[in-house]
Amino acid sequence: MSTAAPTPRSRVTRVPKRGVYDRATIDAILDEALIAHVGFAVEQQPYVIPMLLARVGDRVYVHGSTASRMVRKLAAGVPACLTVTLADGLVLARSAFHHSMNYRSVVLLGDAVLVEGADERAAALEAFTEKLLPGRWDEIRGPNEQELKATRVLAMEVSEASAKVRTGGPVDDEEDYALDTWAGVIPLALRAGAPEPDARLAPGIEPSQAVLDWAAARGW
């Protein structure tokens, strides 16, 4: 895999110590995030839209309806920005100024391209389902011709990506450590509740092990 070397526009300039560029970190953040925020501009007006994402190797995929204004715009080949952010904690400092959040984010710049090859499209669609729930692809009906026609898959390269990560406790001004204010971190994570069966589920159909495992691993 390529190294995601920072370019002038993808380099983290603000608090540069938080900037990381190694592909393992970038990939792990992209793979954990369920939702990306994808930005594109139409006549100077930027739009930022939430989309599911899935990574396969050096490409990050998003998808949408053939009828979607956004998908049509992106598929025409315009500069885009795909950003994912994972909230990891509230950072409660002794001063208002040093309050912060722990987070991991990736910003990916580049043109989105329409994926036209049947094999790559199929692999990307499988990746979306497997991203939501590993093992799910083998449990469900795959896409038919009509559904494939109704879906557009777009790809962006991971090559121009940067990650930003904040971890750890608050960093207060030296004199504020004398205050008697509690300071620390409240950890945050996206967690899962117990699976809720569809109202039309036939009696006797139980959640698969894949469903139970996913929910249990993230249970609240």
Position among 6, 19, 135, 143 found at the interface with its own copies (CB under 8 A): 143
Position among 31, 76, 167, 191 found at the interface with its own copies (CB under 8 A): 191
Instruction: Map residues 17-36 to x or -, x wherever contact with its own copies holds by CB under 8 A.
Output: -----------------xx-
Tell me whether residue 86 or residue 155 sits nearer to its own copies (CB atom).
86
Tell me whether residue 24 or residue 199 sits nearer to its own copies (CB atom).
199
Question: How far, in Å, CA of 87 to CA of 167, rounded?
Answer: 11
Amino acid identity for residue 149 in this structure: K
Instruction: Map residues 102-141 to x or -, x wherever contact with its own copies holds by CB under 8 A.
Output: -x-x-x-x---------------xx-xx--xx--xx-xxx
Position among 22, 142, 149, 167 found at the interface with its own copies (CB under 8 A): 142
Amino acid identity for residue 218 in this structure: R
Nearest approach in angstroms of CB 23 to its own copies is: 20
CB-side exposure of 186: number of CA atoms within 13 Å?
A: 5
Of 194, 217, 218, the C-alpha closest to 206 is 194
Nearest approach in angstroms of CB 99 to its own copies is: 6
CA distances from 79 to 40, 82, 111, 124, 199 (A): 7, 10, 4, 21, 43
Question: How far, in Å, CA of 161 to CA of 203, rounded?
Answer: 47
